[in-house]
Structure 1
Amino acid sequence: MLQRPRDGDPFWIWMLHWWDILSWAVIGLMFLLTALADLPGAVKYGSLALLALLALSYTTVRRMPGNSVRGGYAHLIVLLVALGGLSYLRDGYGVLYTLALPQFVIFVDELRAAIILSGLGATAITLGATLRQGWGTEHLTTNTVSSLAVYAVSVLMALLTPRALAARDERVKLRADLETAQLGLAEAHRLRGAAEERERLAREIHDTLAQGFASIIVLAEAARSGLETEPARSARQLRSIEQTARENFAEARVLVGAAPQSGLTPGSFAATLRRTLDRFTEDTGLTVVADLAEVECDQPTRIALLRCAQESLANVRKHAAASTVDVVLAPRPYGVELEITDDGRGFAVEQARGFGLGGMRKRLAELGGELSVTSSVGDGTRVLALIPVNGEA
């Protein structure tokens, strides 16, 4: 059964809809004129009864859940009876067949049923008019020709409607496909955002908490082994453990949203980096040669540079077996550079595995920067971090 048209439906579907509405406006006018007309009682009340029955049937089937197809066929039977009866009762009521043509399309679910039932409608008005006028050749011929002409229009309507419905259904399918694609795209964006957030958290945990815990473990092992022989050194290491634990606690609060920002306080970034290097020297005993210039940069850049420094120093402590580390922080025309070089055992960069270097590269890339790592076995390692400042390339 044809549903009520929606926005975007083809013109033909809307035309059927408004034709149907217009037909009921005319039927209502005919009901009013018949009620006011001076007609024989049987003709008047019979016509009014058939018109009322037709309106009641139409209203009932339209209110059925889903506009039941079975109810639609029942209404068309009532329509056929009303057409035949009205044509028999009074001249001029045959026009109802023309007005009712959309109903033969609206209330069926296949083309053949629409053609057959509209043909029965033409037969009903022809028989009704002929019974009223008599079976003379002239009346029968006139009624038959006029009914066939209207029936031809009905057949054309039945043929065109499926094409319009097919166009409508194709448009509905395209709209549904578009909505599905949009939902899929939104879900992909959501999943991508969740993956990026997980990666960000993993990088933050690796660069802060994991490095801090690794430092605590190394310091705790050293302090335990030197409690009896080097108590002063063990005391310093215990203080470093305490300080590292406090810093880890602060970073943990940042990660869970209980603190407003990372551990970098406003002020000189060179001074902050200097404190980090001093802690590294105290914890490891390695020589650190630092050339730290004052640089102007925003908080995200400061955090990224500090994390790169912490990760590089952690790698020196865990893997390099170095004796000296050189650190250079310098402003450049194109941005800020941080260079960390050690004289350790080095490694094959292309064979490097692990989260640290990849995490540093992604952190810098988010700010438009890049990371360069130069090393070979036996020749130490050079890490160069570059971040553009003020939109410079």
Structure 2
Amino acid sequence: MTERVDDRWFGDWIGYSAAATLASVVLILANPISGYPRTIVSAGLVLALFPVYWYLARPSRAGIRGNTWRAWTYVGIATAVYFAAYGLNTWANIALFIVSPQFFLVLSAIPAAAAIVVINFGGVLVRWLVGDLDPGDVAGTLGLTVLIIAVSVYFSNRITAVTKESRERGLLIDRLREQQREIAELSEQQGAAAERERIAREMHDTLAQGFTSIVTLGHAVQGELESDPATARRHVELMTDTAQENLQESRRIIAALTPGRLAESTLEQALGRVAGRFEEEAGVPVAFRVTGTPRPAAPALEVVALRVFQEALANVRKHARAGAVDATLAYDAGSLALTVHDDGRGFDAGAPRDGYGIDGMEARVREAGGAFALTTAPGAGTRLRVVLPAEPIGEAP
């Protein structure tokens, strides 16, 4: 069973193979100990291994430690090419830094170790056959070869093991991110469901019962207008009183859904108070300004803007270590835009996050039909911009 790799890791490994191949070719050409013709051919053979590996055994085709026919074909070709290049110029043994990790990438541990033993001892045999190995150097060469084999097996196996562990950690992080998003969505759905249930109870216990009374009285009045005008007038008065009570109850329910800061003030005033309190409590100056012509917007949209502003400043206080905050509330023809920019330490927007503040803000804005944009980088501060589709609903006070 093969183990697939992601594109980023595959690109890194191909980059290493290309760099190592180029370095080996340069070293061989820089040491023409067997003459330039043989050295050039030796370097060309080493260089030819890269396209062969790319086609036959790169991870995207053969998988990691897959023992496929492509992998075995590459191992055979690489071994033969290495022997030929080594026989032409002994500096070609530098190519072992390329093929040893490759063998461990495309074969499982035992076959890869066997292939490394063969290619190293085969190199000693090649030196002996071409007459480059003196009898007195055999023992030392064999000992050095055994050491090279041990080091190659150990480090090549560790490289692939660490690579596999890193890939598994990456997959685990992706799964954790997905679970965090699911948990955030479930929490938001449960909160919304609880709020809908509460509002439904309020409406049932007040508005629905009041409207039922009005309908009942209306039917009674229809039969009393001619036969008993006095009773009809009394019932009409009761209908009026009930309607007024329902109106008050509806206002109370709406007020319960609206933050206290917006109950008796405009959005820009509420945001200004939030900014002022933040500056007093956190000691971080906030430059808050309003552009465009202020006007009332839908209460739900103003609530979204207020909540986002509060959460943005809370994040600045908890994480940013900022020296100053710049905030702008902009009124355009058909939209309401809120921008919050701090000069703090910033963060990696793609890294896993512990809390749900940013995700919660984005979800709230998306549900309101708005656009959410977060720009940040380590050491570069954070800029949050929210645009809500706020059509005018009245004249500015």
TM-score (norm 1): 0.50
Query: Structure 1 residues 134 and 51, CA, compared in 2 at 3 Å: closer, same or farther?
Result: closer
Larger Rg: 1
Q: After the TM superposition, which residues 196-211 of structure 1 pair with which residues of structure 2 at under 5 Å, given as runs? A: 196-211=194-209
1:30 equivalent to 2:31? Answer no
Residue in 2 that maps onto 1:49 = 44
Residue in 2 that maps onto 1:178 = 176
In 1, Cα distance between equivalents of 2:164 and 2:60: 23
Gaps of 5+ in 2: 265-397
Q: CA deviation at 1:33?
A: 3.1
CA RMSD of aligned residues (A): 4.5
Q: Is the CA contact (8 Å cut-off) linking 2:43 and 2:85 kept in structure 1? A: no
Q: Is the CA contact (8 Å cut-off) linking 1:50 and 1:82 kept in structure 2? A: yes
Residue in 2 that maps onto 1:281 = none
Q: CA deviation at 1:104?
A: 2.3
Residue in 2 that maps onto 1:91 = 90
Aligned length, in residue pairs: 252
Q: After the TM superposition, which residues 143-292 of structure 1 pair with which residues of structure 2 at under 5 Å, given as runs? A: 143-161=141-159, 163-165=161-163, 167-168=165-166, 171-172=169-170, 174-224=172-222, 226-238=224-236, 240-241=238-239
In 2, Cα distance between equivalents of 1:133 and 1:4: 46
Task: Tell me the alpha carbon deviations over residues 280-314 of structure 1, each in whole angstroms, 9 at most, x when there is no partner.
Answer: xxxxxxxxxxxxxxxxxxxxxxxxxxxxxxxxxxx
Query: Structure 1 residues 87 and 162, CA, compared in 2 at 3 Å: closer, same or farther?
Result: closer
Task: Tell me the alpha carbon deviations over residues 254-304 of structure 1, each in whole angstroms, 9 at most, x when there is no partner.
Answer: 9999xx99xxx98xxxxxxxxxxxxxxxxxxxxxxxxxxxxxxxxxxxxxx
Q: Is the CA contact (8 Å cut-off) linking 1:219 and 1:241 kept in structure 2? A: yes
Q: After the TM superposition, which residues 330-369 of structure 1 pair with which residues of structure 2 at under 5 Å, given as runs? A: none
Task: Tell me the alpha carbon deviations over residues 207-249 of structure 1, each in whole angstroms, 9 at most, x when there is no partner.
Answer: 4430222211331354355445422321442465477569869
In 2, Cα distance between equivalents of 1:154 and 1:175: 31
Q: Is the CA contact (8 Å cut-off) linking 2:41 and 2:88 kept in structure 1? A: yes
- 2:115 pairs, out of 110, 114, 117, with 117
Q: CA deviation at 1:114?
A: 1.8
Query: Structure 1 residues 247 and 121, CA, compared in 2 at 3 Å: closer, same or farther?
Result: farther
In 2, Cα distance between equivalents of 1:112 and 1:163: 14
In 2, Cα distance between equivalents of 1:222 and 1:53: 100
Q: Is the CA contact (8 Å cut-off) linking 1:20 and 1:102 kept in structure 2? A: no
Instruction: Look up the SS of the partner of 1:133 in the other structure.
Output: coil
Which residue type is aligned with residue 168 of structure 1? Answer: S
Q: Is the CA contact (8 Å cut-off) linking 2:124 and 2:141 kept in structure 1? A: yes
Instruction: Look up the SS of the partner of 2:90 in the other structure.
Output: coil
Which residue type is aligned with residue 156 of structure 1? Answer: Y
Instruction: Look up the SS of the partner of 1:187 in the other structure.
Output: helix
In 1, Cα distance between equivalents of 2:71 and 2:242: 81
Q: CA deviation at 1:202?
A: 0.5
In 2, Cα distance between equivalents of 1:228 and 1:135: 130
Instruction: Look up the SS of the partner of 1:93 in the other structure.
Output: helix
Q: CA deviation at 1:121?
A: 1.7
Q: CA deviation at 1:186?
A: 0.4
Task: Tell me the alpha carbon deviations over residues 299-343 of structure 1, each in whole angstroms, 9 at most, x when there is no partner.
Answer: xxxxxxxxxxxxxxxxxxxxxxxxxxxxxxxxxxxxxxxxxxxxx
Q: Is the CA contact (8 Å cut-off) linking 1:129 and 1:143 kept in structure 2? A: no
Residue in 1 that maps onto 2:35 = 39
Q: CA deviation at 1:184?
A: 3.1
Instruction: Look up the SS of the partner of 2:130 in the other structure.
Output: helix
Which residue type is aligned with residue 75 of structure 1? Answer: Y
Query: Structure 1 residues 163 and 67, CA, compared in 2 at 3 Å: closer, same or farther?
Result: closer
Which residue type is aligned with residue 212 of structure 1? Answer: G
Task: Tell me the alpha carbon deviations over residues 29-72 of structure 1, each in whole angstroms, 9 at most, x when there is no partner.
Answer: 135537x889253x144313312311222344577746645444
In 2, Cα distance between equivalents of 1:67 and 1:240: 84
Q: CA deviation at 1:140?
A: 4.6
In 2, Cα distance between equivalents of 1:132 and 1:2: 42
Q: Is the CA contact (8 Å cut-off) linking 2:27 and 2:91 kept in structure 1? A: no
246-255 or 205-214, which deviates more: 246-255
Which residue type is aligned with residue 231 of structure 2? Answer: R
Query: Structure 1 residues 140 and 77, CA, compared in 2 at 3 Å: closer, same or farther?
Result: same
Q: CA deviation at 1:77?
A: 2.7
1:75 equivalent to 2:74? Answer yes
In 1, Cα distance between equivalents of 2:91 and 2:164: 36
Q: CA deviation at 1:119?
A: 1.6
In 2, Cα distance between equivalents of 1:243 and 1:106: 84
